[in-house]
């Protein structure tokens, strides 16, 4: 019996770029707290790749879970599990259209970056790429990171400020270590004094991930 739908399962899946049934690759964009699927879809305008479909799940109430990603995991349920399922459903939607995980790039910002990185760690396999923009793995300090599987060389980009009011630097570095231990090809960039946002270098890094899965 499948799990009952959570709070995010009745939300729409926004899309942009190439029509999914004609696309050769896909990017799953996961928005942050208080934002929308449509707003993070605007990031697709930064990339010039053709033949790429962009998919963005929407959180109920515009937030995937109610508390900090550092809070005890159970306090963020059922939103957390439902959000992870929403990300997985977007990847599955691409698969149903004939786009394998190896040509799917997952990109998240802030709360969405936490959700995307946690999803990839819990479902380790070869993906087209993962970009974690101002985020990290979910759970309080000391959370066991006993994930199974291998990312099999998946290119991963982590970008964050050293002075982010929401994302401790040590959690970014822990996320790097965990994803490397899962055989991810990880690039970590820490930006002095940037605060909580996305800069040009990060967009360029995501653009390289997207170009890596786009058809020639």
Contact 34, 43 (CB under 8 A): no
Tell me what pLDDT residue 48 has: 81
Give the integer Cα–Cα distance in Å for 90 and 141: 29
Residue 216, pLDDT score: 75
Rounded to two decimals, the pTM is 0.96
* Residue (of 181, 137, 178, 175) closest to 189 by Cα position: 175
Alpha helices in the chain (DSSP H): 37-41, 79-96, 111-122, 169-181, 200-213
The pLDDT score that the predictor gives to residue 12 is 94
CB count in 10 Å sphere of residue 178? 18
Mean pLDDT, 10 residues at a time, the chain of 216 residues: 80 96 97 97 91 97 97 97 98 97 98 98 98 97 96 98 94 98 98 92 96 88
Strand partners of residue 54:
16, 27
**In this predicted structure, what is the pLDDT of residue 215?**
81
Whole-angstrom distance, CA of residue 78 vs CA of residue 71: 14
DSSP category for residue 47: -
54, 39 contact by CB (below 8 A): no
């Amino acid at each position: 019996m499948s799990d009952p739908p959570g709070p995010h399962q009745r939300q729409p899946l926004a899309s942009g770029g190439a029509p999914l049934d004609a696309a050769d690759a896909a990017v799953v964009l996961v928005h942050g707290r208080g934002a929308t699927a449509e707003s993070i879809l605007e990031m697709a305008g930064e990339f010039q790749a053709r033949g790429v479909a962009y998919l963005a799940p929407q959180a109920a109430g515009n937030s995937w879970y109610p508390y900090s990603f550092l809070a005890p995991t159970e306090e963020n349920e059922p939103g957390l599990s439902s959000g992870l399922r929403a990300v997985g459903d977007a990847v599955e939607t691409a698969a149903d259209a004939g786009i394998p995980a190896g040509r799917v790039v997952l990109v998240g910002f802030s709360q969405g970056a936490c959700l995307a990185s946690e999803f990839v760690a819990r479902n380790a396999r070869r993906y087209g790429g993962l970009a974690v923009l101002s985020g990290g793995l979910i759970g309080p300090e000391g959370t066991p990171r006993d994930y199974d599987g291998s990312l099999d060389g998946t290119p991963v980009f982590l970008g964050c400020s050293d002075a982010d009011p929401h994302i401790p630097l040590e959690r970014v570095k822990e996320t790097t270590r965990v994803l490397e231990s899962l055989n991810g090809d990880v690039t970590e960039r820490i930006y002095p004094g940037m605060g909580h946002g996305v800069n040009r270098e990060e967009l360029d890094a995501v653009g390289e991930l997207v170009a890596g899965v786009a058809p020639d």
